[in-house]
Structure formats: C-alpha cells, structure tokens
Amino acid sequence: MILSDTMIIDAIKTGWVSFDPPVDIDIQVQPASVDLRLGNTFRVYNYAQQAVIDPTEDIDLDSISQIVRLEDKPFILHPGAFVLGSTMEYVKIPPDLVGRLEGRSSLGRLGVVVHSTAGFIDPGFEGNITLEISNIGKIPVALRAGIRICQLTLMHTGPVARPYGPLRGSKYQGQREPTPSRIKNDVEFLRRGEIKVGES
C-alpha cells in the first residue's frame, strides 16, 4: 500500500520517516508522495581524463570533478550531459517501508531525467539520495539548488529480515553527497567466489 499524504504527515510527525532538513509539509507533501529538493553539489565525469569506465576497476576519482554551486548560481545541464547530483534532504527509511523515486513531470517536460535506474530506495536506507541527472532535450536547462527535483513515494513492505545497512555491507548507506558507482565491490565478491555466477 502506498502511503497517502495523511499517512506521510503522521509518519514525519512521529519520526517513523525523517528528512533533514525538514520538509515543508504544505509545499512538499503531495497526495501520495514527498517532493525532495536538489542539493548544491554535483559530480561530473571529465571525459578527457577517462578513456573507459571498467566496472571491475576502481573509478579514478581524479576523472570526476566535484562542483559546488551556491543557491544564486545555477548549474547548467547541457543537452546529452550526465551528472550526479543529490537531494538536499538526508532521508531515513524505516525497515518496513520501501521508497520509489521518480522525476517531477514539470522537469521531465523540459527534458530533465533524474534517475537512470536507481529509483528504488531499500527498507532501512538512510542518506542523501544520489540522483543520476540527464538532459535528453536539445536546450540547456539551468538547475538551481533548492528546487523540487524529484518525488518519493513510500510503500509498506512489512518488516524485512535484513534491511539495507551495515549488516548487509550496503555500499551507499549514510552517503552525504553525490556518490560515484561502487559496483567494483560487487565484482570483488565474484572474484573471491563468495557469490557464484547464476546464484540469486
């Protein structure tokens, strides 16, 4: 069951779900979702410094620029560009809810996509959510910190036995800024034979 606005507001007031800084209930809580705002930090790949990305190798952080924009300076997202951003809010999801992140229609109509695949927020996750932002249109779009960039829906799962977090060795728990891929950690498991190809 998807949480309605009244259920979301109750969850926020009781601390079942938390957002830091707090969300503006009158503006950000929608009928069945919460709008989250864009943070002021972006990570951009330096294409001239990185010939190829190999998921089995560490990503060269020298090939990724971190750009911080103040609220009065927009980040210009050019056509075809791909950047990592993050939500302004540090989100805490309890172990009996799952989140689903979607872009806002108003930005989608400008050609801005906020996640390539990472729209699923596991039970037990906490952190600033990394956004995979692309401009699939043909006109540059100015993104400003603090705009409502995406919407988070919350659904009941029932209690889970192994929520996202330290016990699972979750790679992105507690992230505070746009976090590059840590897929190499998965590959290392395969190399050590702890997980055999074909096993679920």
Question: Which residues are designated catalytic?
Answer: 132
Q: Cα dist. 95→10, 44, 46, 55, 125 in Å?
A: 17, 32, 37, 30, 8
Which residues belong to the annotated binding site for dCTP? 104-109, 122, 130-132, 151, 164, 171, 175
User: How far is 19 from 184, CA to CA, in rounded Å?
Assistant: 30
Look-up of token digits 């079942």? 16
Q: Cα dist. 63→44, 49, 59, 91, 185 in Å?
A: 8, 5, 8, 28, 19
Provide the residue count of the chain. Answer: 200
| Closest to 86 measured CA to CA, from 46, 30, 36, 12 | 36
